[in-house]
């Protein structure tokens, strides 16, 4: 099969690495890819959001399967567009991807179908939001409805802060169109975990659980990022909780979307808050997580293309997905200043020294035979181990061999999991 992978981050390098191992894959293209994907696939210079150009390329090259990494093309309807041209594509339709594309839509689905989530209200008028806030208690969460590159959620520790958040989103248009509507939501306490599953629109098959590390500094301090590292499994997700998540959240959501006339095919990602065995959904994503994917895919023993094809065909029920018992840790190496302003084009050293870890490229590019930084999150170093502790140790051992000017990374990836270590 000729396969096209859309996107350019660490998630996409991990997907590319897994896809090229498939017995179905003869040739892989990445649009636009990064320096890591260029070593195992052919990068093509088409932006991930340029759906017309992607469809044109897929038709001309007779691509047999397209896999979409990021959310923007999904929400823009890349799947509908490809299917209309008779092209096979893995991912939810534009309507189904609204689970990520509109927080208000996701909330409505959860409320209507009894899927546990924080209490919330949506607003299209700042005045109404202000008067609602007067009767609320802090902390409280204000969210832009639409896609805001992971920046649209503001956790407010006072009502004054919440009013400012409403102003910023609705009156100052900090997130443009995405902030025309907002959701104001109860603040939830607990521990977060990510739960991803494959679906063909009817059946749901879980991946192994994982945990992201969103804040930039150790001990969950500093501003939110796209994710500074991940661990799989998330030990807070016990076998019993996993069953509950699968039944009461994932399957219910897939069934709900089918009833709403928006069959959900692809990867469904639930961001969860867990406290005392009670689970609530913080958000849905319509795709693989980044950097969760870099900690999940090294544990997947099955052929990922076969699973993706089953999702498209509606035959997932008969498929068994095999996973390694070995835990995996991924440490993200970031540019100085990230998630704020950072410089690019720093030469990366030490990449050739890693044989016992997966070096997944994110913001990198190749120029004159040198690998240079080209983004905020530059690399994701993933490693397996017999225990979570060993996986973490292996990932850091490999990370320490790599360097570039002003590189920074968290030193405590997986520590929460390590503290909970039971059978791993």
Judge residue 234's burial from the number of C-beta atoms within 10 Å of its C-beta, 0-12 exposed, 13-18 middle, 19 or more buried. buried
Q: Which does 192 bind (CB under 5 to 8 A by kind): ligand AMP, ligand GLY, none?
A: ligand AMP
**Half-sphere exposure at residue 146, Cβ-oriented, CA atoms within 13 angstroms:** 15
Residue 121 or 151: the one with the smaller Cβ distance to ligand GLY is 151
CA 69/CA 258 separation, integer angstroms: 23
Residue 268 binds: one of ligand GLY, ligand AMP, none (C-beta under 5 to 8 A by kind): none
Among 34, 43, 66, 285, binds ligand GLY (CB under 6 A): 285
The listed partner (ligand GLY, ligand AMP, none) that binds 118, CB under 5 to 8 Å by sort, is ligand AMP
Residue whose Cβ sits closest to ligand AMP: 283
Q: Helices 304-313 and 10-19 sit at what angle, rounded to 10 degrees?
A: 90
Window 191-210: residues binding ligand AMP (CB under 6 A): 192
Angle at 183 between CA 180 and CA 188, to 5 degrees: 155
> What's the chain's Rg over C-alpha atoms?
21
**What gap in Å lies between CA 402 and CA 12, rounded to an integer?**
21
Q: How far is the CB of 311 from ligand GLY (least distance, A)?
A: 19
Least Å distance between CB 420 and ligand AMP? 19
Are 274 and 236 in contact by the 8 Å Cβ rule? The answer is: yes
Nearer to ligand AMP, 55 or 115 (CB): 115
Pick the binder of ligand GLY from 145, 185, 290, 303 (CB under 6 A): 290
**Angle made by CA atoms 299, 73, 155, in degrees to the nearest 5:** 75
CA distances from 206 to 109, 110, 116, 166 (A): 21, 19, 18, 36
String marking each residue 96-135 x if it binds ligand AMP according to CB under 6 A? ----------------------x-----------------
89 contributes a contact to ligand AMP by CB under 6 A = no
> Binding ligand GLY by CB under 6 A: which of 289, 298, 339, 375?
289
Establish if 303 lies at the interface with ligand GLY (CB under 6 A). Answer: no
The footprint of ligand AMP on this chain (CB under 6 A) covers a number of residues equal to 13
91 scored as a contact of ligand GLY (CB under 6 A): no
- Of the pair 145, 212, the CB lying nearest ligand GLY is at 212
Q: Which of 151, 408 has the CB closer to ligand GLY?
A: 151
- Minimal CB distance to ligand GLY: which residue? 289
Binding partner of residue 44 among ligand GLY, ligand AMP, none, CB cut-off 5 to 8 Å per kind: none
Question: Which residues share a beta bridge with 370?
Answer: 367
φ and ψ at residue 298, rounded to 5 degrees: -60, -15
Nearer to ligand GLY, 107 or 213 (CB): 213
Phi (first) and psi of residue 13, to 5 degrees: -65, -40
Residue with tokens 């920046």, as numbered in its chain = 151
Q: Token digits for 212?
A: 């992201």
Q: How far apart are CA 30 and CA 85, in angstroms?
A: 20
| Residues in region 162-181 near ligand AMP by CB under 6 A | none
| Residues with Cβ within 8 Å of residue 303, at least 6 apart in sequence | 21, 22, 23, 24
Dist CA 375 CA 336 (whole Å): 10
Nearer residue to ligand AMP within complex by CB, 76 or 155: 155
Across the beta sheet with 140-144, the strand order is 120-123, 182-186, 140-144, 153-156
Residues 282-311, one symbol each (x = binds ligand AMP by CB under 6 A, - = not), give: xx----------------------------
E-strand ranges in 22-110 read 27-32, 42-43, 65-68, 89-90
Site string for ligand GLY, 208-227 (x = CB under 6 A): ----x--------------x
Q: How far is the CB of 141 from ligand AMP (least distance, A)?
A: 4
Residues that bind ligand AMP (CB under 6 A): 118, 141, 153, 155, 185-188, 192, 214, 271, 282-283
């Amino acid at each position: 099969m000729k396969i096209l992978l859309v996107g350019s981050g660490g998630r996409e390098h991990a997907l590319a690495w897994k896809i090229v191992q498939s017995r179905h894959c003869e040739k892989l293209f990445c649009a636009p890819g990064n320096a890591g994907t260029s070593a195992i696939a052919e990068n093509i210079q088409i932006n991930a959001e340029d759906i017309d150009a992607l469809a044109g390329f897929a038709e001309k090259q007779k691509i047999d399967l397209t896999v979409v990494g990021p959310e923007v093309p999904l929400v823009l309807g890349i799947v509908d567009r490809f299917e209309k041209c008779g092209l096979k594509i893995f991912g939810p339709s534009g309507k189904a991807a609204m689970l990520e594309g509109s927080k208000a839509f996701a909330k409505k689905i959860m409320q209507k179908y009894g899927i546990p989530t924080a209490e919330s209200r949506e607003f299209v008028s700042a005045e109404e939001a202000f008067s609602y806030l007067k009767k609320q208690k802090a902390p409280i969460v204000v969210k832009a409805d639409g896609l805001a590159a992971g920046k649209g959620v503001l956790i407010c520790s006072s009502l004054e802060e919440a009013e400012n958040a409403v102003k910023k989103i609705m009156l100052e248009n900090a997130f443009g169109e995405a902030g025309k509507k907002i959701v104001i939501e109860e603040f939830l306490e607990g521990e977060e975990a990510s739960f991803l599953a494959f679906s063909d629109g009817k059946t749901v098959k879980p991946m192994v659980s994982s945990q992201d590390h969103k804040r930039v500094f150790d001990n969950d301090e500093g501003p939110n990022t796209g994710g500074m590292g991940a661990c799989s499994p998330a030990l807070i997700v016990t076998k019993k909780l996993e069953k509950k998540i699968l039944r009461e959240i994932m399957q219910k959501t897939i069934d709900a979307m089918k009833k709403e006339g928006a069959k959900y095919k692809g990867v469904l990602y639930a961001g969860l808050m867990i406290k005392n065995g009670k689970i609530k959904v913080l958000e849905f994503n319509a795709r693989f997580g980044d950097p969760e994917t870099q900690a999940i895919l090294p544990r997947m023993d099955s052929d990922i293309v076969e699973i993706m094809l089953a999702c498209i065909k509606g035959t997932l029920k008969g498929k068994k997905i095999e996973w390694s018992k070995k835990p995996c840790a991924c440490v993200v190496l970031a540019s100085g200043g990230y998630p704020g302003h950072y410089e690019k084009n720093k030469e990366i050293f030490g990449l050739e020294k890693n044989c016992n870890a997966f070096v997944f490229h994110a913001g990198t590019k190749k120029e004159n035979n040198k690998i240079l930084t080209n983004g905020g999150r530059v690399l994701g170093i993933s490693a397996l181990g017999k225990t979570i502790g060993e996986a973490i140790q292996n990932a850091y051992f490999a990370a320490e061999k790599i360097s570039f000017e002003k590189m920074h990374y968290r030193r405590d990836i997986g520590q929460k999991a390590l503290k909970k270590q039971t059978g791993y």
